[in-house]
Structure 1
Amino acid sequence: MPERLQKLLILDRDGTLNRSRDDYVASPDEWEALPGALEAVARLNQGGWHVVLATNQSGIGRGLFDMASLNAIHAKMHRQLAAVGGRVDAVFFCPHAPEDGCDCRKPAPGLFHQIAARFGIPLANLPAAGNAVRHVQAAAAAGCPAHLLLTGKSEHLRGRLGQGAEADLAVLAPELPPGTQVHDDLDAFADWLLAQEAAETPTLPVAQGATP
């Protein structure tokens, strides 16, 4: 039976949680968390959100590293998250090279469908945030609310784009799906999501004569 959660969101890994590298993150020593990213996950967890990752790891299919190395990288990630009070519930990854023609390599939406099936949550209720255009494209193709973070592969857009400025976004990054929301980084996305929730939570009236 799939595990059922009320609040789940999907994040990219490289360039979102940790610094991305042109030559792949192939060992634990090469995995370096972005400033504030792990703490942002902890704040989301404290707000009741469960976090999972959807990440392309074609270095496996290209023969650049193996599953033991990937597991060691994620063990380091989990330790550093735990040290700040954060948690990632699961990591969904595509190990295939581009020429393999799989349906799980983003921008294909296969990983997102796997996540929805595993946790039993409709895709429309799964916000997805990442720095790579292909992550946002995969999210939108799956029907998830898509959020672009101006870190990693999209850091060059920072300073050229206003928060949520869809008209500017359409010019600067026309390959992004319509309706993509923009945030400076994972910390800003966490701020936005938690503020949205707070705004939607009804305030209980104070009984007459009671102290507020």
Structure 2
Amino acid sequence: MNKGIFLDRDGVINEVLSHRVKFVNKPTDFYLLDGVGEAIKKLNDAHFLVFVVTNQGGIGLGYMKKAALEKVHETMLAELAAFDAKITDIAFCPHKPDAQCRCRKPKPEMIIKLAKKHQIDLAKSYMVGDRKPDIEAGKGAGTKTVLVGNRRGNAKADLSFPDLLSFVNWLIERSC
């Protein structure tokens, strides 16, 4: 079985609610956070499969179309490619925040489906997020959980770091 790192997108990989961008609804709204390309490359080199699991309620609310989200993800993948960093797969929930669907975090369905598809041992994997729904989804799926950034709220993660690169450096040191 493989080891996986499941990453929330907004606030972990890219800026959100910053001075430059409120929400990422088009490629020009996408700004890779410092250290993310390097962090994902290190995960790739350490043989972790890296996934993005993201709620994208803007589709359900009519702020963007699925095609626009695909263009945002193409931009993300291109920016990561500049670091020779690769994402194994992306899962997203397009439903409105109050839709009560099975795939929207804090429910763990996106993580569980990716784990089955890519033969991931969830007990040896991590969910990295910047908010409580990410942490709850990881716990529900059976991963270890990591809270990054400064939008912490009352999330109770297993680990906490200022950013993705800090977590990855800790993980790689621990794995050696």
TM-score, length-scaled by structure 2: 0.92
Unaligned regions of 5+ residues in structure 2, if any? none
Match of 1:165 in 2: none
1:7 aligns with 2:6: no
By relative contact order (CA 8 Å, sep 6+), the higher-ranking structure is 2
Match of 1:20 in 2: 16
Kindly state the Cα deviation for residue 101 of structure 1 after the two structures are TM-superposed.
Answer: 1.1
Match of 2:162 in 1: 184
2-structure distance, mates of 1:24, 1:58:
11
2-structure distance, mates of 1:185, 1:23:
19
Match of 2:126 in 1: 127
Determine which structure has more spread, i.e. the larger CA radius of gyration. Answer: 1
The 3-state SS of whatever aligns with 1:25 is coil
Q: What CA deviation, in whole Å up to 9, does each residue of 1:67-96 have, x standing for no partner?
A: 110011011111111111100111111000
1-structure distance, mates of 2:31, 2:75:
10
Unaligned regions of 5+ residues in structure 1, if any? 155-172, 199-212
Question: Which region of structure 1 is more displaced relative to structure 2, 103-112 or 57-66?
Answer: 103-112
TM-score, length-scaled by structure 1: 0.77
Count of residue pairs brought into register by the alignment? 173
* Matched-pair contact (CA < 8 Å) for 2:11–2:149: no
Partner AA of 2:122 in structure 1: L
The 3-state SS of whatever aligns with 2:50 is strand
2-structure distance, mates of 1:186, 1:73:
20
Q: What CA deviation, in whole Å up to 9, does each residue of 1:134-172 have, x standing for no partner?
A: 101110121110011124x23xxxxxxxxxxxxxxxxxx
- Segments of 4+ in structure 1 off by > 4 A? none
Kindly state the Cα deviation for residue 8 of structure 1 after the two structures are TM-superposed.
Answer: 1.6
* Identical-residue share of aligned pairs (%): 32
The 3-state SS of whatever aligns with 2:86 is coil
The aligned runs of 1:91-170 (5 Å cut-off) are 91-151=90-150, 153-154=151-152
Match of 2:173 in 1: 195
